Structure 1
Amino acid sequence: MKQSSRPTLKAIAKQLGISVTTVSRALNGKAEAYGISKKTEEAVLRAAKEMHFSPDPLARGLRLNRTLSIGLLIPDISNPYFAEIARNVEMAARREGYSVILCDSQESTQLEIESLALLRDRKVDGLVIAPVGQSAAHLEELQDGSLPLVVIDRHFPNLKLPYVVSDNYRGAMEATSHLIDRGHRTIACVQGLAGTSPNRERVRGYRTALKDHGIEPDDSLVAGSSFGQENGYVHAKLLLGKKKGITAILALSNLITLGVLRALSEEGLSVPGDISVICFDDQPYCAYLHAPMTTVDQDNERMGQIAVRLLFEQIQSRGRFSGEGIILPTRLIERASVRQITP
């Protein structure tokens, strides 16, 4: 039995008695620009729907001299925060008829360099990068505009690259102030990967809030070296062991928080009865913890959507994004992990 062939522009044109060019222009939303009547445009769209026509992505890519694919490079796909960003970028790209090639650098600058080379070899039309964020040397050449690019989540202020990030500074400042306003004075901070822009800005916001409330920041209350669970666990244990009187912990990522909670449990400390906790990154599970977690929510859905929009503006114009970058506000979500301390 002969397999039915895929509907083509030619088949639609033949059925309607019009040219292939007219069909193509109508399907690409250019009817008005080329003086095609509304009646003809509607007939083309109706016929395409009835014949289950869908554009051939390979043919479209060849016609546009593009691969219709973008690269997405993130530092840790196992982190729910970056998994959500990946999903949002993929959804936004799909709406534009693009596929996404995902690479995970595993928080390794060397693997990031190799992944960038791989994506360029694949001739992707553009890149969305959440860099490891500790070294910018390998990203400097991307400033020449030869490949459309948007940096998300972590960025380098000295590089002239378009970016979309959260307002980590104000998010941390608001979270710390929230704790102070509820009577907490000895607040520990379990940080993430040192040197990265989110970590640097969050620690800066934490320190600013303390100073604004007349509390001298104590460097011994800040500890940590990665955004993972083990880091949260190990450094919460160390902080609790060497510093007396800690009543609250600011955890700078959702995974750090999981490690912190395990450490507190092993020490026989309850949340918020003994220790109050606030974390960055609101994840679905945060509302279902034994003590529903107060969080600093980052709008990663908007981050992904805006990043893709900026990227496609570059792809369409074949030029660089001329803006200074976009900083998205965070939102403090109050739940039950912070208690009021009676003076």
Structure 2
Amino acid sequence: MPVTLKDIAKIAGVSVSTVSRVLHDNSKKYTISDETILKVKEAAKNLGYRVNALARGLRQNKTCEIGVIVPDISNPFFAELVKSLAGELRVKGYNIIVFDSDEDPLIEQSALKSLIEKRVDGLVVASVGQDFTQIKKVRDTEMPMVMVDRCFDELDVDSVSVDNVLGSMLAVNYLINEGHRRIAFIQGLPGTYANETRLQGYKKALHNAGIPIDKHLIAGNDFRSFNGYLKTKYLLKLSNPPTAIFTAGDLIALGALEACKENNVRIPNDISLVTFDDPDYASYLSPAVTAIEQPIKKIAQMAVAMLYDRISDSRNERRKILLEPKLNIRNSVARISSTAIKSQPANTDPNNTR
């Protein structure tokens, strides 16, 4: 026999209507006490009751589905983020529909249109580029939406991201403190939020240290490993090569490691390496790579909480949250002696072009 609301009400010592309100997430609307909510949920759990998401959705004109759009599902950061989002949303009674935009604004636009047509209850979007036309159109429809890994001041949308500028500054300042002055930056896709804010942090750290910015030490065009491989080979061929490389993402760092290996360049003996993003495998690489860690689970938790609040009450004030990154120091950076620092050539290389 299936468990009924009446069965739960009897065990919890409350009315059937109270059970219905608690299990269908209307406890705030009806000011039900935390003690009563706990009693009802414990009784439901002990009896093995499960909310019928389809039936609930039909009653409330909801699909119980959330659309998630990320630029590259193969990227370890976004793979873990999607997994964390799915777990957080599952607890709230939602399933997810995932789209990979392949870092293409047109694919993202098509995905947004498709998800809206599917009448999803909300969206979690890691948008590509900085053209907000489509995002603004979605926002104006009052579709509940949260942006992750992006936080634009000029866009009035709920968002949660790590502080990319601070993360880059942590990485570059660490290299500077270890004696490095010629620090290269292998960037991701130009024009994207993650890339531009990480580039900003790189430049800011150099500027604060009084180190001129050498345009020849900034290279790259996407967040994939082949970009890291090609640009590292380019940097190693400079007549005045860098003593350290900072990469905008972990896949770029993998390509950099491979290029160094092919060229018999030892890390950290010959060149130091730090990367943004810190996937589980970073500590198992040879050498273990110093990295900037993003609090992915916390990003997912806060994104889902913000989205749930927006679904519950669209009048809530929109929030923008920046979380602090963490520098995890491992074995990929060598300290340069004071003598070596003095002998480093000027931070320019006018005879080389990309």
TM, length-normalised to structure 2: 0.87
Q: Equivalent of 2:110, from 111, 114, 123?
A: 114
Q: Which amino acid aligns with 1:55?
A: V
Greater alpha carbon shift after TM alignment, 101-110 vs 72-81: 101-110
Q: Which amino acid aligns with 1:202?
A: R
Classify 1:216/1:314 alpha carbon distance in 2 versus 1 (closer, same or farther; 3 Å). Answer: same
Matches within 5 A, 1:111-260: 111-144=107-140, 146-260=142-256
Aligned to 2:72: 76
Q: Does 1:326 align with 2:330?
A: no
Q: Distance in 2 between matches of 1:199 and 1:31?
A: 42
Q: Distance in 2 between matches of 1:13 and 1:220?
A: 71
Note the C-alpha offset of 1:327: 0.8
Classify 1:100/1:243 alpha carbon distance in 2 versus 1 (closer, same or farther; 3 Å). Answer: farther
Q: Does 1:269 align with 2:265?
A: yes
Q: Does 1:338 align with 2:333?
A: yes
Q: Distance in 2 between matches of 1:154 and 1:37?
A: 36
Aligned to 1:309: 305
Equivalent residues of 1:192, 1:199 under 8 A apart: yes
Q: Distance in 2 between matches of 1:229 and 1:312?
A: 36
Greater alpha carbon shift after TM alignment, 61-70 vs 295-304: 61-70
Greater alpha carbon shift after TM alignment, 213-222 vs 241-250: 241-250
Equivalent residues of 2:24, 2:56 under 8 A apart: no
Which string of whole-angstrom CA distances, capped at 9 and with x for unpartnered residues, describes residues 93-128 of structure 1? 111111111111111111111111111111111100
Q: Does 1:289 align with 2:285?
A: yes
Equivalent residues of 1:143, 1:159 under 8 A apart: no
Which string of whole-angstrom CA distances, capped at 9 and with x for unpartnered residues, describes residues 75-106 of structure 1? 10000000111011111111111111111111
Q: Distance in 2 between matches of 1:161 and 1:120?
A: 17
Classify 1:182/1:109 alpha carbon distance in 2 versus 1 (closer, same or farther; 3 Å). Answer: same
**Which secondary structure does the structure 2 equivalent of 1:183 belong to?**
coil
Note the C-alpha offset of 1:63: 2.4
Q: Distance in 2 between matches of 1:103 and 1:314?
A: 21
Q: Distance in 2 between matches of 1:321 and 1:329?
A: 22
Aligned to 2:349: none
Consecutive unaligned residues in structure 1, runs of 5 or more: none
Classify 1:8/1:270 alpha carbon distance in 2 versus 1 (closer, same or farther; 3 Å). Answer: same
Equivalent residues of 2:249, 2:277 under 8 A apart: yes
Note the C-alpha offset of 1:20: 3.8
Note the C-alpha offset of 1:16: 9.7
Classify 1:243/1:140 alpha carbon distance in 2 versus 1 (closer, same or farther; 3 Å). Answer: farther
Aligned to 1:101: 97
Q: Which amino acid aligns with 1:253?
A: G
Which string of whole-angstrom CA distances, capped at 9 and with x for unpartnered residues, describes residues 32-87 of structure 1? 99899999989866764454221111121222221111111101000000011101
Q: Which amino acid aligns with 1:326?
A: I
Equivalent residues of 1:172, 1:206 under 8 A apart: yes
Q: Which amino acid aligns with 1:294?
A: T
Classify 1:36/1:266 alpha carbon distance in 2 versus 1 (closer, same or farther; 3 Å). Answer: closer
Q: Distance in 2 between matches of 1:235 and 1:37?
A: 59
Note the C-alpha offset of 1:316: 0.2
Q: Which amino acid aligns with 2:179?
A: G
Which string of whole-angstrom CA distances, capped at 9 and with x for unpartnered residues, describes residues 216-270 of structure 1? 0001100000000011111111121134231100011000000010011111101
CA RMSD in angstroms comes to 2.8
Q: Which amino acid aligns with 2:207?
A: K
Equivalent pairs counted in the alignment come to 338
Identity over aligned pairs, percent: 41
Classify 1:196/1:319 alpha carbon distance in 2 versus 1 (closer, same or farther; 3 Å). Answer: same
**Which secondary structure does the structure 2 equivalent of 1:285 belong to?**
helix
Q: Distance in 2 between matches of 1:316 and 1:250?
A: 42
Q: Which amino acid aligns with 2:324?
A: P
Note the C-alpha offset of 1:286: 0.7
Q: Which amino acid aligns with 2:299?
A: M
